[in-house]
Amino acid sequence: VWVLDRETGERKQYHPEFADARFPAWGPGGGAILFRGSRNGGVHWNESADWYTTDGRGEAKATGAFAFLRKTGLAVHDSRVCWAENQILFSGRSGHSVNLWSLPVEGREARITGAVRALTTVTETESSPWPVGRNAVVYAHRRAFSHILRIPLKNGQPERAEQVTLEEALDTRPSISAD
């Protein structure tokens, strides 16, 4: 995590001891930074990841959020987060979709104060939330449909593919009866 002084151009790295540190977000009031980090640089670095808070002067403090969220069956998506007032807005995977979530927190160390709450529930990918005022959130929304297609054969040669499924859903693992 790097901080740049816009006037002087001076750059300062916070916590170079982390093998991975990404997606920094200023906390409310600008006195602290929340970032996704892992001290483990091995193959399974993501298993030891968590959100950390820092003021840039002392030790980075783990929030414990990733372990808390794993217990609910939720995996944090690898994208930008936002620390807004008393909540962390983030993208998380539950089942086959990536949705927006809110985790209530308090203080400069972002202590968890309640249950995680789904902000969206569609079956697509939603990421990079950012609050607009107190009552709205903008975010990236990606639609990716996987449909089943049929390729007719005429005299053993493939013809133009035809889409069999039409609804906006994820269709996978087609099967067909032998008759």
Per-residue pLDDT for 166 more than 70?
Answer: no
What is the pLDDT, as a whole number, of residue 137? Answer: 76
How many residues are given for the chain? Answer: 179
What is the pLDDT, as a whole number, of residue 124? Answer: 75
Q: What is the pTM of this model?
A: 0.75
What is the pLDDT, as a whole number, of residue 122? Answer: 77
What is the pLDDT, as a whole number, of residue 157? Answer: 59
CB count, 10 Å around CB of 88? 24
Two structure tokens written together for 30 = 């600008």
What is the pLDDT, as a whole number, of residue 145? Answer: 58
- For 13-67, what is each residue's pLDDT tens digit? 999 999 999 999 999 888 899 999 998 877 666 778 999 999 988 899 999 999 9
- Choice among 53-57, 92-96, 173-177 with the minimum mean pLDDT: 173-177
Average per-residue pLDDT for the chain: 82
Cα–Cα distances in angstroms (integers) from residue 134 to residues 85, 89, 158, 170, in the given order: 9, 13, 56, 34
Q: What band does 120 get if pLDDT is binned at 50, 70 and 90?
A: confident
